[in-house]
Chains A and B, each alone.
Chain A
Amino acid sequence: MNAVPAESPRSSLKILQRPKAETGLWSWITTTDHKKIGVMYFLATMVFFVIAGVEALLLRIQLAVPENDFLSPDVYNQLYTMHGITMVFFVGIPLGASFFNYIMPLQIGARDVAFPRLNAFSFWVFCAAGIFMYSGVLLGGLPNGGWFNYAPLSTTVGPDVSGYTVGGGSAELGTQVHMGRMLLYSIGLQIAGIATLASAINFIVTILNLRAPGMTLMRMPIFVWMTLVVAFLLLFAIPVIGIALWQLMFDVRFGANFFNPAAGGDPVLWQHMFWLFGHPEVYILILPAFGIISEIIPTFSRKPIFGYTAMVFAGVAIGFLGWGVWAHHMFAVGMGPVANTAFALTTMFIAVPTGVKIFNWIGTMWGGKLRLTTAMLFAVGAVAMFTIGGLSGVTHSVVPSNYQQTDSYYVVAHFHYVLFGGLVFGALGGVYYWYPKVTGRLMNETLGRTNFWTLMLGFNLTFGLMHFVGLWGMPRRIDTYAAGFGWDLLNLIITVGAFIIAGSVLLLIINMASSLRRGQIAGDDPWDARTIEWMTSSPPAHYNFKEVPQISARDELWHRKHAVSEQGDYVRVPAGGAGTVVIHDPDTDIHMPDPSFYPALAAVGMPIMGWALFTSGTGMIVLLAVGCVITVGALFAWAFEPMAEEGH
């Protein structure tokens, strides 16, 4: 971070020549351009989304009929665990990061993020974490304790304590397999946490410090505000889970006693630490979608966001209150009536700012001129579906009835309405909305509408019905169930719904891929939008704006396109009004950071240090040293490498 500008580009620590490639594989590996990094985040996210989706389909096949033996319990537990971990840590968080990376600097009129190489580092460390996590396929199995990974099942005991099933009768082998899987969980997520923390700091500094002239905080688009709130949530939530994972790692690998009741540890401590992170995490996942929705609805309603200030403060309030509700995940743990009451009240209260957001979106549409493009459909769909998730959230806050709902499929239904209905619908709205900015071409609207309606159908079939099976007594995380509880038909329909979702996602991928070549040429501002990312070319040049715009209002672009008439109405300024005059020759006057090998190299060492803990003795020390030398060496080289070569 504290790069010491070196005087000579050929400093002695410079092992690798400065990368020069502008196209091809190396240009992507070494890039420091926030837009390329955003695109890579998105593509990596899509890969993980498909993986986690396939895992979900396998789970649904297993649950389609009672007493099914399509998957063994061991495989089922690994799949449901990895579905959760992948969707939360390798889809939800990086999906937000991909939008933040690409869109946020454009929306504030910055040329790049504050620390371009740190940004690349975040991405590559995130990839390293994903690879490390899934390396379990070759190392005796994937994590299988659930994404929540409650101790002591995750630490001293394990799901197969005598190893009769997994260890083939050997308790020792069973324990070894268990330890490996838990190391994947704890170290994999710690690595992912480093990536996330680095990008959180990066985004905070970027938003605070790199705004275009005139872009005061209260002129920032809501999306940028939500980025800021999410970055702060990550900044404070990641350390909590980081330490919990660190303690878990010591428990599992080195026999520490943080969560081991036999030696005096208390497993409830893990739950507090996990949910202290886990609840803010929910807002980390959903607030980016709120930001995206708040950009799409005004554009396609042709009105400014209703109650901008309230929207900002509601988002900030949700972020704040998110710290005071974690134990509502633990009502059935037995904290006693006083603690349960306190967390019930805070949880209910958080519904108020959430409600404000929903009503303000409706207020934005009210009286507008709505163009129901695919992006708008997804945004409105997200509001409608999130509302259902929000309402079931209120039912959870009613503690006595929560005792019935918690750990049942009702909860599964609830958070999928929040995260799929809110986050995925919102993010897909964002994909359709910003695709033309990223690629220069529009996505196919007919395919898009089909995509939306099939997703709506499949989503509601799948998760809507889960409310019922949950209330009818079906617990979560069971790999099979007996007939006769009234769950059979609903489970079958749920599985059908899951496949409809899969088909719809396939349509999305086809649409994205085919529009890349065949889509209609978009132009700078295809949606008649309001914010400044639409003022530059599509796709934007690597320096984003030829001339950084001077900001004089919220919805700057809209104000540039309209003037106030004598009657006090807005009238459209004839085309060309939004044009900017090029003063500089961008290729010589704008200094952009050069690409660098070191961020990607620094990421390589981390999983090596993680794998070291799978071995012991000399092997462990050697691997630890190798990983450490790679990472620390790359960080040193990076620190002494100038941001941009002289004379560039």
Chain B
Amino acid sequence: MAEVTTAEASEEAHATSLGLSNEKLAMWTLLGSECLFFGALISAYLIYYTNYNGQPEISPALFDIPFTSVSTFVLLMSSLGMVLALSAIQRGDDRGFRIWILATAIMGSVFLSGQIYEFTVFVNEGMRLDTSPFTSSFYVMTGFHGIHVTVGVLMLITLWARSMTGKLTSEHSDVVENIGLYWHFVDIVWIVIFTAVYLVPYEQVGA
């Protein structure tokens, strides 16, 4: 593989053995690792989702699927916004980039607000972190995902701000691409969580 890079190129810091960017390689490595983070959380949920600690009324029956479907849809569409933003900045279309990156950040924020609202409703119905293994694993899993979304939104807003002050141009599209990878990953984790937690007819398989 190293043969593709020339000897003189290796003198430059950015030329690499694989011909790939360090940052992007690191991002994919991190995402490989993140699979194990979320895998552990989802596994704990799958092990405990029928375990109600003697309070069967606090169960997945509380989930408001229409509501969550809407916020899931918003998060899914934010991924579309992200690719459109990337494609805009790669074309050098700064205005398009700003529109789409801001839209993505807003959609992410809508999802987060939905999650906070959902948590509030649940807590009011008596579903607390310490109610049962089911609730513990639900909150810790979705909360951990929520933290990831928050970090993503912060990065997106930063990108938008940098672009507004003219400090982010098509030269830096690789930064946008890497943050985009992170954003899409957070989205695919939710695709899995949405099915595993909300959609699977637990009352049929739960027995």
Contact = CB atoms under 8 A, between A and B. Distances in A.
Nearest to A204: B29
Central interface residue in A264, A269, A548, by most chain B CB within 10 Å: A264
Contacts of B179: 2
A591 B131 CA distance: 57
B130 A257 contact: yes
A217 interface: yes
A238 B33 contact: yes
A548 B167 contact: no
Given A208-B18, A257-B53, A257-B130, A239 B172 contact: no
A205 B26 contact: yes
Contact of B16 (A209, A254, A258): A209
A255 B44 contact: no
A243 B41 contact: yes
B191 interface: no
A250 B40 CA distance: 15
B7 A209 contact: no
B22 A550 contact: no
User: At the interface, is chain B mostly helix, strand, loop or mixed?
Assistant: helix
B20 interface: yes
Interface stretch (A4-12, A158-166, A449-457): A4-12
B5 to A, nearest CB: 6
Nearest to A256: B136
A336 B12 CA distance: 58
Classify chain A's interface size: 35 or more
A255 B129 contact: yes
Contacts, number: 149
Contacts of A111: 13
B103 interface: no
Contacts of A255: 129-130
Contacts of A243: 37, 40-41, 44, 144
B140 A246 contact: yes
Contacts of B135: 257
A254 B132 contact: no
B168 A257 contact: no
A210 interface: yes
A210 B40 contact: no
B2 A2 contact: no
Contact of A2 (B13, B52, B53, B175): B175
A208 B131 CA distance: 47
Contacts of B133: 257-258, 263-266
B2 A216 contact: yes
Nearest to B41: A243
Interface in B115-151: 129-133, 135-137, 139-140, 144
A330 interface: no
Contacts of B20: 209
A115 B53 contact: no
A138 interface: no
Contact of A115 (B2, B22, B41): B22
Interface of A: 1-7, 111, 114-115, 197, 200-202, 204-205, 208-217, 235-236, 238-240, 242-244, 246-247, 250-251, 254-258, 263-266, 269, 273, 548, 550-551, 584, 589, 591, 636, 643
Given A4-B162, A256-B129, 12 more contacts: A2-B27, A4-B175, A6-B167, A111-B13, A205-B22, A210-B17, A212-B2, A213-B10, A215-B2, A239-B33, A247-B136, A266-B47
The 5 A-B residue pairs whose C-beta atoms are closest, nearest first, are: A255-B130, A243-B40, A239-B36, A256-B136, A209-B16
